[in-house]
Amino acid sequence: MNKVRKVVLVTGASSGIGFDAAQALAARGHKVYAAARRVEKMEPLKAKGIEVLRMDVTDEASMAEGVESILKNEGRIDVLVNNAGYGFFGAIETVPMEEARRQLEVNVFGLARLCQLVLPTMRKQGGGRIVNTSSIAGRSVFYFGGWYHVSKYSVEALSDAMRMELKPFGIDVVMIEPGAIKTDWGIIAARHLAESTKDTAYEPTAAPWAKTMDWAYRSNLISSPRVITRAILRAVDSRRPRARYRKGRLSGTVIFLHWLLPARCWDALMRRFGEIRN
């Protein structure tokens, strides 16, 4: 592990993985800037020496001002942890296009724009690291997750492209691929699924899926955010980080089965999933 103190920007730090990772990175001795829209939820981070920024990854001015303030204070940015993201589940037909676009704005275009904003500094420094939170949803497709999967498949492709482009400048690009992680993400996605399909032709199959998702993310059967935090620490501190860190309950199994099974078998498996708790 590389013990050099680094200046790290973590987005989506108001809860879940981002909140946990910001604390762990600060405990390692790094100078951490935690960014999110809900600044009030990051108040506990200040007590641990973490700088808090109000940042909306769908707002160009917000992102530019945040990066500029870090450069003004520190003169450098060594690591960008792109963790902001959300999921709006539902049938492709029933998810409003404004929600589909917003999901792509947050999960893909906001991530890409922040990379563009920090890369000139990283090149000037002669190195840096970008850590993108992807998902097993970028390597497989679940029932009613269509637009979310579109966004995460895009993060995978974007990260692969940047890894090749930035290698000559000494900049590493690393992907974190969480499996099922116990955060509010799944509960919110389940609620969106139920709402977006209510009173539609999809409700008979979507409603059981939503109930199963909500139950699963409230249970103790899935992994703690700490599992992903440890992967982020490795991605930040390793001298030669891996291209991908796949962690969390069912992460390897899901991707393996998606690769192994014929498409129609995978489809049937997904349709049955909603019957687990019903």
Q: What amino acid positions are annotated as catalytic residues?
A: 148
Interior angle at CA 49, CA 46 and CA 52, nearest 5: 45
Looking from the CA of 7 toward its CB, the CA atoms found within 13 Å total 17
Instruction: For residue 48, give the 3-state DSSP assignment.
Output: coil
State which H helix or E strand residue 244 sits in. Answer: strand 244-247
Spatial distance between the Cα atoms of 71 and 42, rounded to a whole number of angstroms: 21
Cβ(220)–Cβ(260) below 8 Å = no
Instruction: For residue 69, give the 3-state DSSP assignment.
Output: helix
Spatial distance between the Cα atoms of 76 and 74, rounded to a whole number of angstroms: 5
